[in-house]
Amino acid sequence: MAPSSSQKTAIVTGSSRGIGRAVALELAKQGFAVAVNGVRGLEDAAKVAETIQKGGGRAIAVQADVADPAGAQLLFDRAEKEFGGVDAVVNSAGVIGLKPVAELTADEFNRVIRVNVTGTFNMLHQAANRLRDGGSIVTFSTTALVMAFPGYAAYNASKAAVEAMTRVVAKELGPRGINVNAIAPGPVDTEMFFTDKSPELVERLIKMTPLGRLGKVGDIAPLVAFLVGPEAGWVTGQVLRANGGLG
């Protein structure tokens, strides 16, 4: 895709794999230039960016830990330098970590909070100061929040905080025409979903879902594209639960 002064730009955190990867690819299909982000190394993020480029789109890969304020700032710096500004931010970076409270250590709890809450806050902070007027922000919560499964205390606490921030920031940025929404997926077939889960728990979750299957990343990415697109201009401060009827 040839550079265009009217082309919109999206930053997608945690987009080297899983739902974030699918979102980056979908937004590129919708015409966005995309800053692809990974924290573990640049190789996977670079592959996603290369896929976008081979399809005629524009993309860069940025290694950054958004749980560090400097990492979030770097993502915006790189996107602005390469593409001229930022119109959409999708906060899909996250970790899960399932343990009963009796077994959960403070370090394990703090890791989940650091990535899921502090990482989202850092990106919201940058977006509140640097996103172009009329832009969009999408955060990620979870349907597990309303199900209250045993072992989910840290993860659910982190996502409750994300939902709370989402609603507040929607009101703060509304006067600038920026919409801010969250997506709360149900069980989706990704590497992160299977972390810390026994085959028995996975099967139980599938059976609890009225549609009788795990979600796919392709079930979620188009919803993000909708929320950052013009059709969602009147939608803000909402949590969209995409979960196959679970919860």
- Domains along the sequence of the chain with CATH: 9-242 (3.40.50.720)
Determine the residue type at 74: L
pLDDT digits (tens, 9 = 90+) for 4-27: 558 999 999 999 999 999 999 999
Q: What is the mean pLDDT of residues 79-94?
A: 97
Tell me what pLDDT residue 3 has: 46
Beta strands 179-185 and 136-140 are parallel
Q: What is the mean pLDDT of residues 193-220?
A: 87
Q: What is the mean pLDDT of residues 125-144?
A: 97
pLDDT digits (tens, 9 = 90+) for 155-169: 999 999 999 999 999
**For a pLDDT cut of 70, what percent of the chain falls above it?**
98
Q: CA angle, corner 58, sides to 53 and 60, nearest 5?
A: 90
Collapsing DSSP to helix, strand or coil, 92 comes out as coil
pLDDT band for position 185 (50/70/90)? Answer: very high
Q: Tell me the residue length of the chain.
A: 247
- Taking 50 as the threshold, does the pLDDT of residue 1 lie above it? no
Q: What is the mean pLDDT of residues 173-191?
A: 94
The residues near 121 (Cβ < 8 Å, ≥ 6 apart) are 165
DSSP class of 188 = B
Mean pLDDT score across all residues of the chain: 94
Tell me what pLDDT residue 97 has: 87
Sheet holding 9-13, edge to edge: 59-63, 33-38, 9-13, 88-91, 136-140, 179-185, 239-242
Tell me what pLDDT residue 197 has: 77
Give alpha helix (H) positions in the chain: 18-29, 42-54, 69-83, 106-113, 119-130, 144-147, 153-173, 191-194, 199-208, 217-227
Q: What is the mean pLDDT of residues 209-220?
A: 92
- What does the longest C-alpha to C-alpha distance in the chain come to? 55
Tell me what pLDDT residue 2 has: 41
Q: What is the mean pLDDT of residues 206-224?
A: 93
- Taking 60 as the threshold, does the pLDDT of residue 244 lie above it? yes
Tokens of 22: 């699918």
Q: What is the mean pLDDT of residues 127-141?
A: 98
- Please give the positions annotated as active site: 155
Tell me what pLDDT residue 144 has: 92
Each as own residue / partner, the long-range contacts of residues 162-170 (CB below 8 Å, 24 or more positions apart, any chain) are: 162/91, 162/116, 162/117, 162/120, 163/139, 163/239, 165/120, 165/121, 165/124, 165/139, 166/137, 166/139, 166/141, 166/237, 166/239, 167/237, 169/124, 169/128, 169/137, 170/236, 170/237
